[in-house]
Copies of this chain bind each other. A is one copy, B any other.
Amino acid sequence: MPKLELDTIPQTNATGYPAPFGEAVRGRWYRRLAPAAGLEDFGVSHVVLRPGAWSSQRHWHEGEDEFVAILSGEAVLVDDTGETTMRAGDCAAFPKNDGNGHVLQNRSDADCVFVAVGRPAQSRCHYPDIDMVLTPGEGYRVGGKPA
């Protein structure tokens, strides 16, 4: 059946961020829908941000577009232009290589649920607030040093 039974798809809060940067995403619980559903053309994550959790460290990708749609709850989108509250039904797009780091922060006292669409990262990802760069195949560098 095409409808996804979300409860049957594994959910994790795993992160590869070096300490202490993983702390912010400890309440980010996500499911990788594409492999579970047999999709290959793009990736889709179903994400539950518990109160206080961030979607990521603020970041932008050199080579991959991203898109999010909020399904329930609310979160604050932080980017170079400021802070914008996102609520159920709101959508946001993050074109590749625009140099505008973005993050969703759940500052509410209820879960925020969203879907995020993208492709597997094959380019560098920049985290300007913490001077971190992720290079595929090489790993994270913080302040220019391997982390």
Could you list which residues of chain A lie within 8 angstroms of chain B, going by C-beta atoms? 1-4, 6, 33-34, 37-42, 44, 46, 64-65, 67, 69, 71-72, 77, 79, 81-82, 84, 86, 88-96, 98, 100, 102, 113, 115, 117-119
A51, chain B: closest CB distance, angstroms: 18
- Contact indicator A2/B119 (Cβ below 8 Å): no
- Contact indicator B3/A117 (Cβ below 8 Å): no
Instruction: Give the number of times this chain occurs in the complex, counting copies.
Output: 2
- Contact indicator A38/B93 (Cβ below 8 Å): yes
Given A3-B91, A33-B67, 4 new contacts (CB under 8 A): A3-B77, A39-B67, A42-B65, A44-B93
A77: chain B residues within 8 A (beta carbon):
2-3
- Select one of B40, B41, B65, B71 contacting A69, CB under 8 A: B71
A145, chain B: closest CB distance, angstroms: 30
Top 4 A-B residue pairs of the complex, sorted by shortest distance between their CB atoms? A37-B93, A38-B95, A41-B65, A2-B92
A118: chain B residues within 8 A (beta carbon):
41
Q: Which one of A42, A98, A118, A119 has the greatest number of beta carbons of chain B within 10 Å?
A: A42
A2, chain B: closest CB distance, angstroms: 4
Across the two chains, which residue of chain B brings its CB closest to A40?
Answer: B65
- Contact indicator A117/B44 (Cβ below 8 Å): yes
Instruction: Give A84 to B82 CA distance when docked, in angstroms.
Output: 41
A46: chain B residues within 8 A (beta carbon):
91
Instruction: Give A102 to B2 CA distance when docked, in angstroms.
Output: 8
